[in-house]
Amino acid sequence: MSKELNFTNFLLIGYTAWKGFSKVGRGAVFCQIQKVDLPHVPFPRVRGKYQTTDEVVGTHFLAKPELVAYLHEWMVREEIITRIVQAIDSYNPQQDMIILAREGSQIEVDILQKSVMTPIECYQQVSQHWDEFSGYISRIKI
């Protein structure tokens, strides 16, 4: 999975992280990722190839118990689950975000620390520009 997310995706993840934490406490943002072709942006020096990007096609917040059940469902090894739970227990929800990204059958867990914008700031930006984000928000579940 690509580590690159566009700014809209980042704002929506931060929005979801803060709203979820505010409602149910510690957890992680689950993101369904899909590859999207950018047909008019060819790779430099490679003819006929086009760039793809990861697009978040849906998000929802998983509280810690739901996250653990989900990881067991996906047959993630117990030692990995333990490390993820430790991260959930120790992250700073006002500054950091834990992201569980799924693309096809592949799952990746990332902790965004000291990002350009905090989850609270992302929540505020999305709330202030609701008209621009409302189409995306319908894909978010908390």
2 domain-assigned: no
Q: Please, is 68 exposed, middle or buried when counting C-beta atoms within 10 Å of its C-beta (0-12, 13-18, 19+)?
A: middle
**Do 29 and 76 contact (CB within 8 A), yes or no?**
no
Domain of residue 47 covers 7-141
Provide the domain count of the chain: 1
pLDDT at 79: 94
The pairing of strands 106-112 and 97-103 is antiparallel
Where does the pLDDT of residue 117 fall: very low under 50, low under 70, confident under 90, or very high at 90 and above?
Answer: very high
4: pLDDT strictly greater than 80:
no
32: β partners: 58, 102
Assigned token pair, 134:
């409302």
Q: Is 88 helix (H, G, I), strand (E, B) or coil?
A: helix
* More confident site: 96 or 75: 96
37: pLDDT strictly greater than 50:
yes
Q: Name the percent of the chain lying above pLDDT 70.
A: 75
Where does the pLDDT of residue 88 fall: very low under 50, low under 70, confident under 90, or very high at 90 and above?
Answer: very high
1 domain-assigned: no
Q: Is 49 helix (H, G, I), strand (E, B) or coil?
A: coil
Q: How far apart are CA 33 and CA 37, in angstroms?
A: 13
- In one-letter notation, the amino acid at residue 65 is P
Where does the pLDDT of residue 42 fall: very low under 50, low under 70, confident under 90, or very high at 90 and above?
Answer: low
* More confident site: 1 or 101: 101
CA nearest neighbour of 130 among 23, 32, 3, 19: 19
The pTM of this model reads 0.77
103 domain-assigned: yes
30 domain-assigned: yes
**Do 62 and 27 contact (CB within 8 A), yes or no?**
yes
36 domain-assigned: yes
61 domain-assigned: yes
Residue located via tokens 């490390």: 83
CA nearest neighbour of 62 among 92, 90, 23, 95: 23
